[in-house]
């Protein structure tokens, strides 16, 4: 079979050479841990602890307040110093639980389920929900919700996003190389929950060693297939990945479940395995700390709540002052003005770009070259949507399917005029959705 892919998209420099050969290192925090009560799409958590309380590793400290929500667990043992607003990676202050680490790492009682075949789908969903698992690719949608499609949606395909198409990031790549057997345990849990499905694990062909490792790990399992994807951005976006693996197109306004598919990130599958087999909630994840300004780029297994400043220090600091620091990848990540923020469930990377890497020209007038149209994987006209938002014409923005924008950044990347196309589409979507809520 040839390499699978989708229509349009871009080929940015991948930048993965900094860290793709670096084995995962475990990092233990030295400072206080900060746990924002919203690390997911949906309703924020309510704190279950107060100042002065002692907590244990894996203890639930934030209770989900709705179906689309996800609990928060402590990643260390120690004492709650405060419950107060703290800086979040989105640039706002968010109510958070601050824990002083006692460095003992005493654990709460866990309940392993090594014979998960004896559990029902409903029991497994409850375990996944209580473990606080969300999509670890960055979207942070609660996993138990995604695994509970509407009754009229007949799921026959589960597609695992192992593309890691964002430049620079290598945390998923390393996870597949070093924890492939554990990932397969997670895949078998999904097959037990959805016995009439086939699983496709999509990996870009710039990770041939991961393709080989995963093929070896799934050998003999008939309904799991490792599919090689063409290296192209945004190959890991849900709709593009579904098309690449199954040639199905998700209609505008519909979800993957409407075409019989569920999409999960590869790291999320590993977290599902840990929650079920080990009984451990989501308290840590692998984060890539990289970029031209980092002295020693690394892939670190990090306790959630750890300061990003500590992670940079664990990589021997900067060799030059970064021109831009981004939480996540360069195309869909969030620019940071401070490293005094905690690692959260959606933190896939800390990207510190040098001046050479971030040599961005100022914005100028659109020259109507059409490059943004050729690049857009959603078949939109970004230059036109940009103009509508700047004019405040949000009705036209919606009528021209602006809400279908996946904010991948392809249009901005290829624009010779350096127009802020993705940013204006994001603003247009926000305005349209806000208006509908009123």
Asked whether residue 376 is marked as a ligand-binding residue, the answer is yes
Q: Are residues 375 and 274 in the same domain?
A: no
Q: Is residue 95 part of a domain?
A: no
Nearest CA-CA partner of 42 in 72, 68, 64: 68
Q: Is residue 123 part of a domain?
A: yes
Q: Is residue 62 part of a domain?
A: no
Confidence at 361, pLDDT banded by 50, 70, 90 = confident
> Average pLDDT of the chain?
96
Q: Is residue 394 part of a domain?
A: yes
Q: Is residue 288 part of a domain?
A: no
Asked whether residue 415 is marked as a ligand-binding residue, the answer is yes
Q: Are residues 389 and 274 in the same domain?
A: no
Asked whether residue 261 is marked as a ligand-binding residue, the answer is no
Please identify, among 278, 299, 320, the residue that sits at the C-terminal boundary of a domain: 278
Asked whether residue 408 is marked as a ligand-binding residue, the answer is yes
Total domain count, the chain:
2
What's the pLDDT at 114?
87
Q: What is the mean pLDDT of residues 28-43?
A: 95
Which residues, in sequence order, are CB contacts of 341 under 8 Å at separation 6+?
34, 86, 87, 88, 89, 307, 308, 327
What's the pLDDT at 436?
81
Asked whether residue 366 is marked as a ligand-binding residue, the answer is yes
Q: What is the mean pLDDT of residues 75-90?
A: 95
Asked whether residue 369 is marked as a ligand-binding residue, the answer is yes
What's the pLDDT at 2?
74
Q: Are residues 261 and 380 in the same domain?
A: no
Q: What is the mean pLDDT of residues 398-416?
A: 96
Q: What is the mean pLDDT of residues 192-217?
A: 97
Lowest mean pLDDT: which of 150-159, 266-275, 285-294, 356-365? 356-365
The two tokens of residue 392 are 């405040």
| Domain extent at residue 398 | 371-437
Q: What is the mean pLDDT of residues 229-237?
A: 97
Q: Are residues 266 and 401 in the same domain?
A: no
Q: What is the mean pLDDT of residues 121-138?
A: 96
348 neighbors 287 (Cβ within 8 angstroms):
yes
Is residue 1's pLDDT more than 70? no
Q: Are residues 128 and 271 in the same domain?
A: yes
Q: What is the mean pLDDT of residues 251-258?
A: 94
Please identify, among 278, 308, 329, the residue that sits at the C-terminal boundary of a domain: 278
Phi-psi region at 303: left, alpha or beta (left = phi > 0; alpha = psi -120 to 50): beta
What's the pLDDT at 275?
98
**CA 343 to CA 347: how far, in whole Å?**
6
* Total length of the chain: 438
Q: Are residues 266 and 392 in the same domain?
A: no
Please identify, among 259, 278, 297, the residue that sits at the C-terminal boundary of a domain: 278
Q: Is residue 129 part of a domain?
A: yes
């Amino acid at each position: 079979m040839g390499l699978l892919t989708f229509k349009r998209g871009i080929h940015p420099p991948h930048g993965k050479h900094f860290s793709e050969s670096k084995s995962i290192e475990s990092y233990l925090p030295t400072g206080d841990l900060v746990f924002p009560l919203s690390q997911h799409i949906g309703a924020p958590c309510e704190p279950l602890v107060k100042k002065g309380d002692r907590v244990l590793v894996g203890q639930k400290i934030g209770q989900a307040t709705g179906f689309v929500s996800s609990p928060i667990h402590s990643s260390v043992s120690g004492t709650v110093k405060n419950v107060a607003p703290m800086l979040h990676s989105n640039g706002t202050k968010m109510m958070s639980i601050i824990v002083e680490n006692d460095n003992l790492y005493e654990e709460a009682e866990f309940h392993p389920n090594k014979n998960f075949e004896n559990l029902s789908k409903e029991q497994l969903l409850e375990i996944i929900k209580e473990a606080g698992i969300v999509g670890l690719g960055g979207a942070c949608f609660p996993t138990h919700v995604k695994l509970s499609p509407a009754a009229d949606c007949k799921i026959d395909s589960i597609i695992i996003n192992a593309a890691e198409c964002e430049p620079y990031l290598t945390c998923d790549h390393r996870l597949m190389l070093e924890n492939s057997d554990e990932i397969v345990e997670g895949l078998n849990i999904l097959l037990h929950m959805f016995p009439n499905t086939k699983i496709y694990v999509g990996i870009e062909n710039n990770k041939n060693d991961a393709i080989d490792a995963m093929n070896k790990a799934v050998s003999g399992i008939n309904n799991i297939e490792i599919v090689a994807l063409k290296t192209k951005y945004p190959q890991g976006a849900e709709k593009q990945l579904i098309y690449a693996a199954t040639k199905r197109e998700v209609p505008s306004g519909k979800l993957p479940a409407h075409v019989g598919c569920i999409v999960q990130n590869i790291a999320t599958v590993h977290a599902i395995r840990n929650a079920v087999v080990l009984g451990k909630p989501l308290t840590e994840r692998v984060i890539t700390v990289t970029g031209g300004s980092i002295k020693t780029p690394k892939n670190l297994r990090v306790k959630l709540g750890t300061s990003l400043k500590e992670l940079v220090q664990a990589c021997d600091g900067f060799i030059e002052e970064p021109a831009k620091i981004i939480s996540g990848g360069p195309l869909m990540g969030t620019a940071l003005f401070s490293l005094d923020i905690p690692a959260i469930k959606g933190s896939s990377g800390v990207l510190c770009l040098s001046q050479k890497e971030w040599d961005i020209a100022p914005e100028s007038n659109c020259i109507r070259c059409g490059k943004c149209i050729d690049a857009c994987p959603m078949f939109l006209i970004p230059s036109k949507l940009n103009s509508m938002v700047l004019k405040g014409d949000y009705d036209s923005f919606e009528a021209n399917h602006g809400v279908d924008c996946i904010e991948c950044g392809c249009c901005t990347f290829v624009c010779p005029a350096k127009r802020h196309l993705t940013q204006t589409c994001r603003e247009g979507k926000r305005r349209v959705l806000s208006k509908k809520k009123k």
